Amino acid sequence: MSTGEMKPTTQSVTIASGDNPFRLEGEIALITGGGTGLGLAVARCMASAGARVVLAGRRAALLKKAAAAIGPQAGFVVCDVARFKDTARVVARAEALFGPITILVNNAGVHLKKPSLETSVEEFLAVLQTHVLGSHALTRAVLPGMLQRRHGSIIFIASMASLFGVPNVFAYGAAKSACLGMVRALATEVSPSGVRVNAIAPGWIETNMTRQAMAGDPARKRRILARTPLGRFGEPDDVGAAAVYLCSPAAKFVTGAVLPVDGGVSIGF
């Protein structure tokens, strides 16, 4: 190694014989949009893997019900990720429940089914605020602690619209594509200090958002299934299991990656 060249530091994880490298004991996860859909599935899977989870969202009653269903290793905080001034307080409340956040899942999102010419500046900004600026604000809030401890994992929930063109979701596709740019930039900045950053790009998963996207458009549903090699929609827990993997010791050499969970849509014809 030449003089002045910095050798990256890595967090060594030794997996003893018989240990399960996919377990998350000792981890504390903050999951936005955690009361429903993919966020709830991620929380449920992470709790099953041994993590304690904090569900974040805007509806207190829904979050309380979801946390109770998961069990004593789950709590919740009420927040709107688009309200950036509350970000530090949200993280403080989450950490008061179980301790320092070691996993952040930027999942909260909004959908807008409109072509570009019908999308107003205000609508575009609203989508960007949630998916991009809100994720950035929360990431900034948890990163100092992760960097200090030299341990952490951040996941952005991207989309098939991050990987190829999807008509009539102009704002959503732009926002999700920006998330992948953040993943790559962040990974190069923080991975030498033991914090890994990755993305999951779900395909068509059985959620309310998917149903809304296909509402009144049966031809679109047929096209989607026709280009999905597995020939069906995914389940929310498919994304949850992928999130567990990316945050577990099994993925200790994975950072800056985008994992499609899509039944083969991204390679289908």
Which range of residues forms the domain containing residue 83? Answer: 28-203+239-260
Structural domain contains residue 109: yes
Structural domain contains residue 78: yes
For position 248, which CATH number holds?
Answer: 3.40.50.720
Could you give the CA distance from residue 107 to residue 150 in angstroms, rounded to a whole number?
A: 23
Name the residue type at position 234: G
pLDDT of res. 18: 59
Structural domain contains residue 212: no
Residue 149 tokens read as 């401890």
Residue 147 parent element (H or E): helix 134-149
Could you give the CA distance from residue 205 to residue 71 in angstroms, rounded to a whole number?
A: 25
Could you give the CA distance from residue 136 to residue 93 in angstroms, rounded to a whole number?
A: 18
Structural domain contains residue 209: no
Residue 265 tokens read as 């849509």
pLDDT of res. 185: 98
Could you give the CA distance from residue 43 to residue 240 in angstroms, rounded to a whole number?
A: 7
Domain count, the chain: 1
Structural domain contains residue 220: no
Could you give the CA distance from residue 110 to residue 108 in angstroms, rounded to a whole number?
A: 7
Give pTM, 2 decimals. 0.90
Catalytic residue ranges: 172
Tens digit of each residue's pLDDT, the chain (269 residues): 333 444 444 444 445 445 899 999 999 999 999 999 999 999 999 999 999 999 999 999 999 999 999 999 999 999 999 988 889 999 999 999 999 999 999 999 888 888 899 999 999 999 999 999 999 999 999 999 999 999 999 999 999 888 988 888 899 999 999 999 999 999 999 999 999 999 999 999 988 777 877 778 888 888 888 989 999 999 999 999 999 999 999 999 999 999 999 999 998 77
Render pLDDT for 241-253 as a digit per residue (tens, 0 to 9). 999 999 999 999 9
